[in-house]
Structure 1
Amino acid sequence: MTFDQMLERVRYDGAYPTRERAEEVVGAVLAALGRQLTGEERVDLAARLPVEAALVFTAQIPGTEQLTGWGFVKDLATRTGGTPATARWDAGAVLASVAQLAGPGLLTRVLAQLPPGYGLLFGRAELTQTAGRQPLSTSCR
């Protein structure tokens, strides 16, 4: 996927009125993700992004404290001057494209590195086990 194709997909998925607006959103979300992701997953993801997107993503220095998915959305809203609802929409529109570029294997590794709450932002269900409940067994006795 080229950067132009990525922008068009984000523009369509996010229902943004212009290519310029889609580019602003892509930049903000990739910068925010760049502040959260470290290690091999960061390097591997950057290699799969279009060059222009990878430059925005890797220009960020990862923070010392990882944010939960909700913290990520709130931080994005603060930095862009938007509402949490708008930031959640923006994150979903961009991270769906990132998930496609990453592929299932790398996306699984990325989500394993990040705190809870990112799965839905990337368009993937996030199942958790409730405390005190045992997983269902598939064996017959």
Structure 2
Amino acid sequence: MKWNVYLSGEIHTDWREQIIEGCRVADLPVEFTSAVTNHDASDAAGDLLGEESSNFWRDHKSSKVNAIRTKNLIERCDIAVVRFGDKYKQWNAAFDAGHLAALGKPYITLHGADIIHPLKEVDAAAMAWAQTPQQVVEILSYVISAK
């Protein structure tokens, strides 16, 4: 079986690449999917529907166009990793975690100890909390290969 792992959250560090590389080195049968990680492209996703005079409506349209992708990828995943970074608030990641929980999809949160309190509900619904991408790889390796 090839596992479909959805990578959600923070886009300003290389955590995705670390997990992907770690799984490649471990020779795990994994396919990775993710939301659009190019910030400018994501913000402009709704622009093809016409120009808006208000940033609210531009963001509104873009979020809906982006949701077509994220909704489908989340529904198809076997497991997800939801990353909360240090520098920015990832409201989209929290929303993805709620979506995953509502669907009964297992997910791993990835964040530092300094934000345990604000993420207590998100972590409570998670199957695991990791602090490093390497811990995520180790969890995936165990789950996939039982080793």
Is this a same-fold pair by TM over 0.5?
no
TM-score calculated relative to the size of structure 1:
0.33
Per residue, is there more helix in 1 or in 2?
A: 1
TM-score calculated relative to the size of structure 2:
0.32
Per residue, is there more strand in 1 or in 2?
A: 2
